[in-house]
Structure formats: C-alpha cells, structure tokens
Chain A
Amino acid sequence: MTVSDFRRSASEFWREFRKVRSGVFGLIFLAIFICILIFEPLIVPYPEANEKWRDITYWQDLPSSAPPSWINLFTSKKRAVSESIEEYAFSETLAGAMRIQEYVFEYDYSASVAPSDVVFHASGVGKPTVVISIQRPDGLSIDLYRKQLEMSPTQDARVSIDRSAQTAAMNFGKKYSPSEGVQLQTIKTTDVLFSEAKQGIFRSPSPLVGIYKLKVTLLLQKAEEKIEDAFVTVAGRVHGILGTDNSKRDIWSGVIAGVKWAMLIGLLTALVSVSIGVVYGVISAYVGGWKDSLMQRIFEIFISVPMLPVLIVMSAVFKPNIWVMIGIMCIFYWVGPVKTVRSMGLQIKEETYIEASRALGASNTRIIFKHMVPLLIPYAFASMALNVPGAIVVEATISLLGLGDATIVTWGQILQAANSGGAMLSGMWWWVVPPGMAIAFMGMTFAFVGFAMDKILNPKLKTR
C-alpha cells in the first residue's frame, strides 16, 4: 500500500466513522486523555506524584483529608485555602557575635474556617535558635515556638505550627476562656490562633479575619551559619482541584498520573493479546485437521480458566510489577479474538487466491501473513479497542485488593487507599469519585471507539 492508497482508505474510514456519534465522543475523550498525557507536568501541581506517591515527606506540607477548594463556592462557611507565602520583611541586627535575623510573613486570613497548619521552611547551614511568634489583627501577640534548628545542605528546617505550638495555643485560649475545660490533645492549634479571643474560643470559635503577622526570629551564633529560602506554607482546609487524602496526598496529581498507567496497561495488553489471538486463530484455521482441533482444545483450556482468581493469587505470591501483570493479563486475554478470527480464517482460506498463491509455491507463512492476516487487521483494531477497558478494570481490581505494583500510582491503588482509609465512612467523596470516574471514562472512551469501529468494519453489524 502506498501513502496515497492509505490516505484514501483512511479518509473513507473517517467518513463512515463520523456518522457514529458515540464513536466521535469516544475520539474526543481519547484526545482529551492524550492531551492530559502530554501536558501532565504542566497541569499537576505535584509533577513527581508518580514517583513520590508513597513518600510521606513529599506531601507533608499539604492538609490531610481536605476537600477540593471549589467546594467553597457552595458553602457559606468559607474554608481557608492552601497557599504559599514567599514574601517577607527582613531585618538583621547584630548583638555582639550574634546575628539576629527577623522574617515577618503576612498572611491575609479572610475565611471562616482556619487553615489546618502553618509551616515555616528554610534551608541553610548551622544550628540557629528559632523563635516564632504571631501577631494577630486584634493586636495580641503569641509566642509560639522556640527551639534550636539543625540545618545542613541535605536537611532543611521545617517548623509546623500546628504540631509544635499546641501548648502555646492552649495557654492563650485559657486566658480568654478560662471556664472551658479542654485537654491538650483535643486542641486544634490553628483554630485557636485564628479565632477571636473571647469566651468559647475552644468549643465554638468565631473567626478573626485580617492580616496576621508571623514573626520568625533566628539567632545565628557563628559566622558560617546562614539562612536561605525562607518561606511559609499555609495548609488550608480545602486543597487544590480534587482535595487530598488522609496521607496528605494531592488526589488530582494522583489521578492525572494514573492516566498514563491506565493507557499503558490497556493499550499494551490489548495490542499484545489481540495480536497473539489473531495470529493463533488464523494459524488454527489455516492448518486445519487435527492440528486445528488441538489448537482449539488448548484455546478452550485458556478460556475456561478464570483470570481474576489466578491473577489475584499470582499477585499475592509474587508481588509483581506492572509489566509482569500486563504479561499475565495477556496470557488470559489473547483468547478473546481467537474464535471469531478462526471462523473468518476458515472462510478466507477457501478463497481461490489462497489456492492460487499455494499453486505459485507460496509458503504457509507467506499465505498466513501476506494474504490472511491483512484481511483481519480491521477486526483486530476494533477488538483491541474493546479489550482496553477490560484490562484497565482488571488492573484496578488487583490494585483495589492491595496487590498492585507499589512503585507506581494507578486509579485502582487510589481507590484501595480510599477503601482502607475509610473514605466512605468519613464522607471523603473526593477521594473515591475521581479515580472511579476516571476508570469509567477511560473505559467508555475505548468502548465507544471500539463499538464505532466494530460497526463500520464488521459487515454483519452494518445497518442501513
């Protein structure tokens, strides 16, 4: 086939394809998925989500179990949004040999629910003493934290107010609401810090909006000690496009990172298994006789072994990576097109041109691959598209059972984490729905494309 022939048959196919509306929808979705795949680093806030999915430190500045930010649009009680404050007022004073560096970060708090954490970050070298205090819009100032930091080029300083200033918050609250009996463990630091200083600050706080000044004072004793890149992150009560899970992971990043794995699993499994199935079916049809019977019995053995239990057992025993899993799926999926292809092959092999080719001296290999397989390629493509969702769902199932590849992030694994993290019980729908929808959409995409191709390429289904 030359290029122009190919172009002509492709345009013919496209003209037919356009008429099948579901197929066009499928193509649009497919295009969207491919765009996501290409632009993944640009659209996710945490591009290393795939590699660092199980790395707690990568996610530690995020809020835990936070719903998506856009739910603020639907509630009257606005929740604080995650943000990062990189601007500060800096001043340095000398006291003898000691340098006193002061960073003042301004945080404009305007929501009704306080952020879940405020974290100070800095990199540098040395062991400076850090003193952190906060100045509230009502003029009150609270000393939050005082400690010696240890910093080296490999170790950055990180101070979480929520964790380290609990006692300070309790003492502050007790001053203004002495009658409330609370215990240290039950106090949410930020709730106290960002509330009006009055009776009931612990149990029914009312937010104090305005500019908060976070003053970070660092005492540097030695000349070689230095501080760089100081910034503050505010972990909100809502986060990003799809919120976070209970391990503080950004679900949007995870779902988007899952696209490529779903595509890989689906397409590779479909490609390999359908190719094997088509060739097997054609050979079986072509050789005929007892060899055909034998090949069909082998096929029946494979088709009657239930894939999922085998896959579950194999996964549990061998802890396979994604490639092994694709391989195992191929072992079970290749049977899909065999029967149809064999019946088509039986028909094709009776064509005179096959006999003519044989009379010319063509080898069996040549007849199978030059004359028979090309006729089955359209069917193979449709069959591939229809096999993709199955493979994705199977991988998700295996992952949902906690047996997936632990080095990547797939939708099934997000769902598994949601399941074991009690997302259902605590109403964390943003943890369950997006990966589920993604699986459904990806499956739908390929099913639509496959059905449309099937409709066009399978003459039996043609209705006019």
Chain B
Amino acid sequence: MTEKIIEVKDLQKWFPIRRSISQFFKGEHNYVKAVDGISFSINRGEIFGLVGESGCGKTTTGKLIMKLLEPTEGTMFLNGEDVTHIEKDELKRYRRNVQMIFQDPYASMNPRFKIRDVMEEPLIIHKLGEDRDARMKMIEKALMEVKLNPPDEFLVRYPHMLSGGQRQRAATARTLLLNPELLVADEPVSMIDLSTRAEILHMMKEVQRDLGLTYLYITHDLSTARYFTDRIAVMYLGKIIEIGDPDDVIDNPVHPYTRALIAAVCEPVAGKVNKPKVVPIKGEIPSAANIPKGCRFHPRCPYAKEECWEKEEPQLQEIEDGHFHACRRWKEVVEEAGRG
C-alpha cells in the first residue's frame, strides 16, 4: 500500500468579483471559479503532473497546496493530518514540509539580494543553523546537490548574473534547504531555454531520487510531463477531467479535451514543415466566471450531443486500473476518434 503524502478532497477556490448594485441588493454573488472541486492524492515518492492550458486553474491549485491561498471549500490532508485551515506556527511548520519552485526564475529571487542572501533567507526564517558558518555549509551542500559547482563562486553573485537554468537550480536549492517532503513545481522549466530544460528536469529527478522527494509538477507541456511524471491529471476550467499513468493518458486518451491537448503539441518533424495541425477543438476557453452548464467542455467539444449539456456534470469514472476520466460519451468518442 503506497502512502498518501497529500490528499485533497473537493477543493474549491472561488474568487469573488465586483457586483453591480442591483446584484448587491438581490444578494447575488459572482465568482471566478478558478478551482471548482478537485480531488486527488499524491503518493510518497511520486511525481504527479497537473496538465492544462493557461487559465484552467492549475497554478491556483499549486498555490492552494502551498497554502498561499485559502481554499473556499474542501479539505486538504498532509500525511493524514487536516491542513485545510492552519495559521501561524502550524503554517510555518507546514511550509517546511511543502515547498514551491516558481515558474519564473528571473522573478522569484529579490534582485537586490545576492544568491547567498537568497539562500540564507529560509534558514533565517526557520531558525536553522546556529551561525552564519553553519548556514553557509548547508547552503553549499544544497548548491552542490543541484550541481551549481563550485558553490563559492555563485554565493556572491546577484540573481541577474546567473543564467536562467542556474537560477532555477538555485531556486530549487533554496527549497531543498528546508528538507521538504513535497515540492510544488509550478512550470519550473517553461521560462527556460529548450536546450536547458531536459538538464533541469534531469537534475530535479536526481534530487528527487536522492532525497526521496515528492513532486507536484504543474505544466502546460505534455511532452515534459510524459518524460518527467509518474501520474498525470488533466485539468480543464477548474476541474480534473482525466487522471492516469502518463503513457496511458497520452497514448490512449479518453476525454476529447485530452485528445485536443495532445494534438496541439508541436513536434519538429521532418517533412511536416508549414503544415498547420488540425486541432479537434473549437473556440477559446470560456471564462471561469461563467462556467457552461452540464459538461463544462461541451461548447468546444466536437463530439458534444444534447445529453452533454442537458444532463448534469459527469464525474470521474475509472475505465482501467488507475485511469479515470470524466466524459459521458467516452465510448462513442473513442470509437469516432479511432475511425478517423
């Protein structure tokens, strides 16, 4: 039995938006439903991928798990302990266990701090290391872990003197200083040169193996997700619509949205130059303030039939071991897609 490190149940984050005066008097509320009831769990030592296009709520999910945002509804458990609403000291303790790598390594470090100060910050906050020398030893060790060699050379530099890859390594090292169990990596390589991405992901994987970490890897990039993760969840408009083994989900997608997402991946294939790809999806992602009735994907779904918007929203269902999806007409979809 694998141990669940974090489990979220029916997690919601609704952001209130401004109401008109008549709405105010009628008592109506408007919300942007960034995360609209998601449930999943991550096992210890696993890399869990959360995939979706921009605006689907995956970053919000990351921030909810990081507790940078308070959830509107739902519950969260860390190692079986309810951490949905915690404050002050508990929160501080929580943050030693759960850490985050941010998307933009150019922005996630104070440009006025040297790497040394950037790295020292978590140690000072959590009162780790007796004196400066002890802290410097810990920092050097962490920098070695992420392959920033030799550490001394980097300590005295400012973030802007580092390359994107080096910064992301430093950012990772900073989170490692606290010995977290779970690392939320919010698109850690999306701002990094393609040529360096694999290297960074490789480094992250190595660190994970060395230290027995668990990752929540948030990305819009299916190809790195497949390379990097043990399990992926596809999110659309605040809901998870498919979960499963990455190979399973990508090779045998069930939900039409997953299919569209896979079809949209660019591949530099010889002979395919200048040929526009056919993406089986129409229109833009709807506003999270106004989620369509029924299946939330139906306005863009090429397979949508009346039942999709007439009946209530479909729930996740299992088709094979560990592969869940939320499509009512999945049999027809798989058939039609198979035909052509």
Residues of A participating in the B interface, judged by any CB pair closer than 8 Å: 351-353, 355-363, 366, 371, 374-375
B112 touching A352, Cβ below 8 Å: no
Known: A353-B110, A371-B110. A360 touches B174 (CB 8 A): yes
For this complex, 30 residue pairs linking A to B, each with C-beta atoms less than 8 Å apart, are A352-B103, A352-B104, A353-B109, A353-B110, A353-B111, A355-B108, A356-B100, A356-B102, A356-B108, A356-B109, A357-B110, A357-B121, A359-B66, A359-B68, A359-B95, A360-B95, A360-B122, A360-B125, A360-B175, A361-B95, A361-B96, A361-B122, A361-B125, A361-B126, A362-B121, A363-B125, A366-B125, A371-B110, A374-B112, A375-B112
Bits for B116-137, please: 1 = Cβ < 8 Å to A, else 0. Answer: 0000011001100000000000
Contact of A360 among B104, B111, B112, B121 (CB under 8 A): B121
SS class of chain A's interface: helix, strand, loop or mixed? Answer: helix
Closest to B107 in A: A352
Distance of A351 Cα from B126 Cα, bound (Å): 22
Provide the residues of chain A in CB contact with B92, threshold 8 Å: 361
Distance of A289 Cα from B122 Cα, bound (Å): 27
Question: Ordered nearest first, which 5 A-B pairs have the shortest CB separation?
Answer: A352-B107, A361-B95, A356-B108, A360-B122, A353-B110
- 10 extra interface residue pairs, beta carbon distance < 8 Å, beyond A356-B100, A356-B109: A352-B102, A352-B104, A357-B121, A360-B121, A360-B122, A360-B125, A361-B96, A361-B126, A362-B121, A363-B125
Q: Is B99 an interface residue (CB 8 A)?
A: yes
Distance of A359 Cα from B177 Cα, bound (Å): 13
The number of chain B residues with a CB under 8 A from chain A is 25
Contact of B107 among A351, A359, A360, A371 (CB under 8 A): A351
Closest to A372 in B: B110
Distance of A54 Cα from B96 Cα, bound (Å): 68
Provide the residues of chain A in CB contact with B107, threshold 8 Å: 351-353
Q: Which of chain B's residues 81-107 have a Cβ closer than 8 Å to chain A?
A: 91-92, 95-96, 99-100, 102-104, 107
Min CB distance, B142 to chain A, in Å?
Answer: 13
Closest to B121 in A: A360
Provide the residues of chain A in CB contact with B178, threshold 8 Å: 360
Provide the residues of chain B in CB contact with A359, threshold 8 Å: 66, 68, 95, 99-100
Distance of A360 Cα from B122 Cα, bound (Å): 6
Closest to B105 in A: A352
B122 touching A352, Cβ below 8 Å: no
Min CB distance, A4 to chain B, in Å?
Answer: 10
A362 touching B125, Cβ below 8 Å: yes
Number of A-B contacts (CB under 8 A): 49
Distance of A371 Cα from B117 Cα, bound (Å): 12
Distance of A361 Cα from B122 Cα, bound (Å): 7
Provide the residues of chain B in CB contact with A356, threshold 8 Å: 100, 102, 108-109, 171
A353 touching B125, Cβ below 8 Å: no
Provide the residues of chain B in CB contact with A357, threshold 8 Å: 110, 121
Provide the residues of chain A in CB contact with B171, threshold 8 Å: 356
Distance of A352 Cα from B105 Cα, bound (Å): 9
Distance of A358 Cα from B68 Cα, bound (Å): 8
Most buried by B among A352, A355, A358, A366: A352
Min CB distance, B162 to chain A, in Å?
Answer: 14
Provide the residues of chain A in CB contact with B68, threshold 8 Å: 355, 358-359
Most buried by B among A355, A374, A375: A355
Provide the residues of chain B in CB contact with A352, threshold 8 Å: 102-104, 107-108
Min CB distance, B5 to chain A, in Å?
Answer: 18
Provide the residues of chain B in CB contact with A358, threshold 8 Å: 68
Distance of A246 Cα from B317 Cα, bound (Å): 101
Min CB distance, B122 to chain A, in Å?
Answer: 4
Distance of A363 Cα from B127 Cα, bound (Å): 13
Distance of A24 Cα from B18 Cα, bound (Å): 51
Min CB distance, A363 to chain B, in Å?
Answer: 8
Distance of A371 Cα from B96 Cα, bound (Å): 21
Distance of A279 Cα from B125 Cα, bound (Å): 21
Min CB distance, A9 to chain B, in Å?
Answer: 10
Min CB distance, B113 to chain A, in Å?
Answer: 8
Distance of A235 Cα from B175 Cα, bound (Å): 81
Distance of A362 Cα from B109 Cα, bound (Å): 14
Provide the residues of chain A in CB contact with B66, threshold 8 Å: 359
Distance of A360 Cα from B96 Cα, bound (Å): 8
Provide the residues of chain B in CB contact with A351, threshold 8 Å: 107
Closest to A360 in B: B122
Distance of A352 Cα from B191 Cα, bound (Å): 14
Provide the residues of chain A in CB contact with B104, threshold 8 Å: 352
Q: Which of chain B's residues 267-306 have a Cβ closer than 8 Å to chain A?
A: none
Provide the residues of chain A in CB contact with B99, threshold 8 Å: 359-360
Most buried by B among A360, A363, A374, A375: A360
Provide the residues of chain B in CB contact with A362, threshold 8 Å: 121, 125
Min CB distance, A12 to chain B, in Å?
Answer: 14
Distance of A366 Cα from B126 Cα, bound (Å): 12
Provide the residues of chain B in CB contact with A363, threshold 8 Å: 125
Distance of A366 Cα from B66 Cα, bound (Å): 19
Provide the residues of chain B in CB contact with A366, threshold 8 Å: 125
Min CB distance, B99 to chain A, in Å?
Answer: 7
Provide the residues of chain B in CB contact with A360, threshold 8 Å: 95, 99, 121-122, 125, 174-175, 178
Distance of A146 Cα from B283 Cα, bound (Å): 117
Distance of A90 Cα from B108 Cα, bound (Å): 89
Q: Which of chain B's residues 170-193 have a Cβ closer than 8 Å to chain A?
A: 171, 174-175, 178
Provide the residues of chain B in CB contact with A361, threshold 8 Å: 91-92, 95-96, 122, 125-126
Distance of A45 Cα from B178 Cα, bound (Å): 68
Most buried by A among B91, B102, B108, B178: B108
Q: Which of chain B's residues 47-62 have a Cβ closer than 8 Å to chain A?
A: none
Min CB distance, B213 to chain A, in Å?
Answer: 16
Distance of A359 Cα from B100 Cα, bound (Å): 7
Min CB distance, B257 to chain A, in Å?
Answer: 29
Distance of A360 Cα from B108 Cα, bound (Å): 11
Closest to A1 in B: B112
Distance of A356 Cα from B105 Cα, bound (Å): 10
